[in-house]
Amino acid sequence: MQWTWQRFAALGVDNLYDALALRCRVFVLEQGAYLDPDGVDRDCWHLLGRDDAGVLHAYLRVVDPGVKYAEPSIGRVITSPERRGSGLGRQLMHEGLQRCQAVHPGSAIRIGAQDRLRHFYGTLGFEPVGESYLEDNIPHLEMLRGPGP
């Protein structure tokens, strides 16, 4: 997987188009209608994972501290349906965590995870915070990962 890590303004139209298309494919078509472009993308780092043919298969964004939460936040974590079950999601999160810690050293990281992925994020060091809540008719849970090394 070849990784691209950029701020919104540096993404360029092709990366932005591919990221929004993948997000729409999974978050809107598979999970139900909602407004994916939420006005937060401009205040984020974006991590894109492409295969050797240049096809985008993995994406996440790191939201700047103070935009959604006091801490930096990882969100819009996605792998293409074709690559699910391959370990790419874990690889994506490891890349995202390393890059987030490099940009925000010593900071905790907060996520709004789908409740069904609680165990997955738990294996990455995230702990549940508070009660489950509905977001776009999907149960979610805030989780927090303590400051990294």
Residues in the chain: 149
- What domain range includes position 36? 2-145
Count: domains in the chain: 1
* Local confidence pLDDT in tens for the 149 residues of the chain: 999 999 999 999 999 999 999 988 888 777 766 667 788 999 999 999 999 999 999 999 999 999 999 999 999 999 999 999 999 999 999 999 999 999 999 999 999 999 999 999 999 999 999 899 998 788 999 999 998 65
Tokens of 72: 């930096």
The domain that contains 10 carries what CATH number?
3.40.630.30
CA–CA separation, 44 and 55 (whole Å): 22
Helix, strand, coil % over all residues of the chain, rounded to 5: 35, 35, 30
H or E stretch including 102?
helix 88-103
Are 101 and 47 within 8 A, CB to CB? no
CA–CA separation, 95 and 49 (whole Å): 10
Measured torsion, CA atoms of residues 111, 115, 119, 124, in degrees rounded to the nearest 10: -10
Give pLDDT, residue 148.
62
What predicted TM-score, i.e. pTM, was given to this entire model? 0.91
The backbone torsions φ and ψ at residue 6, rounded to the nearest 5 degrees and listed phi first, read: -145, 155
Are 37 and 127 within 8 A, CB to CB? no
Give pLDDT, residue 34.
67
